[in-house]
């Protein structure tokens, strides 16, 4: 009679643990890699996005130069991009672009913008730009090329 009680308690504990794990996953930001609505680029794989953000792919299919936009350090969306796309820490990112400029591979690091509003404004102003936004900040002015968690 008491064995089922013990089993029930253990099952509850297990459920609680699962709940914690699921909750922590849900806390992650969902980030969309976006381009302006006027950009006709197809959806991109994570590898293609990595190449673009790291400066290894510098032009769209039509030959226009890609302008990569980043949110400034400290923004949570940037953390997701660094982790999922660059697979780097903030320090690695700084070193990478300093070294890439030094070797002549890129002219400079991507432009840092202070807010999602600025990101959207820049994207709206330049059809060759690519950036990223939180899912809730995405609106009709942009097209989503890749979803990241």
Partner 1 sequence: MPNFAKDTVTSSRSPRHVLVYGGALALLLVLNQTVTASAYADDQAHAGEREALRRMNEQIQELQAKVKELEARLNDGKGGASPGAVESNAPGNPLAKVTPPVAPPFEAQESPENNSAPSVKLHMFGDVGYEATDQKGVTNSFYIGTLDLFMTGALTDRVSVLGEVLFSPNADNSFGVDVERLLLQYKQNDYFNFSVGRYHSSIGYYNTAFHQGAWFQTTVDRPFMYAFDDSGGFLPLQEVGMTIYGQIPSGRLGLNYVAEVGNGSEHLFGADPAQNFRDDNNGKSINFAMYARPSWLPGLQTGVSVYHDHLTFLDNQNHNELITAVHVVYTNSNYEFLNEGLLVRHSPGSNSAPPTVFHTPGFYTQFSRRFGKYRPYFRYSYVNAGVAEPIYGDPADGEVVGRRDGPSFGLRYDMNDHSAVKLQYNHLARRGEKSFNELLTQFSFAF
Task: Please tell me whether residue 62 binds partner 1 under the rule CB under 8 A.
Answer: no
- Collapsing DSSP states into helix, strand and coil, what is residue 94? helix
Phi-psi category of residue 105: left, alpha or beta, with phi > 0 → left and psi -120 to 50 → alpha: alpha
In 3D, which of 1, 130, 3 has the Cα closest to residue 68? 130
Among 28, 30, 37, 50, binds partner 1 (CB under 8 A): 50
Which residues ranging from 9 to 38 are in contact with partner 1 (CB under 8 A)? 9-10, 12-13, 16, 20, 23
**Burial class for 31, CB neighbours closer than 10 Å (0-12, 13-18, 19+):** buried
In 3D, which of 92, 109, 91 has the Cα closest to residue 100? 109
Task: Please tell me whether residue 90 binds partner 1 under the rule CB under 8 A.
Answer: yes
* CB contact at 8 A, 132 and 120: no
Task: Please tell me whether residue 2 binds partner 1 under the rule CB under 8 A.
Answer: yes
Give me the least distance between CB of 23 and partner 1, in Å please.
8
Residues that bind partner 1 (CB under 8 A): 1-3, 5-6, 9-10, 12-13, 16, 20, 23, 47, 50-51, 56-59, 63, 65, 67, 87-92, 94-95, 98-99, 101-104, 107-108, 111, 114-118, 121-122, 124-126
């Amino acid at each position: 009679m008491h064995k089922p009680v013990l089993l029930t308690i253990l099952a509850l504990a297990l459920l609680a643990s699962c709940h914690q794990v699921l909750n922590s996953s849900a806390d992650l930001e969902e980030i969309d890699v976006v381009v302006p609505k006027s950009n006709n680029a197809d959806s991109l794989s994570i590898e293609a996005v990595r190449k673009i953000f790291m400066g290894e792919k510098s032009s769209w299919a039509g030959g226009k130069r890609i302008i990569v936009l980043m949110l400034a350090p400290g923004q949570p969306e940037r953390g997701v991009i660094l982790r999922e796309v660059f697979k780097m820490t903030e320090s690695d990112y700084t070193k990478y672009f300093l070294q890439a400029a030094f070797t002549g591979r890129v002219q400079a690091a991507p432009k840092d913008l202070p807010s999602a509003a600025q990101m959207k404004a820049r994207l709206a102003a330049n059809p060759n730009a690519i950036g990223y936004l939180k899912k809730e900040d995405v609106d009709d002015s942009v097209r989503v090329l890749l979803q990241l968690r």
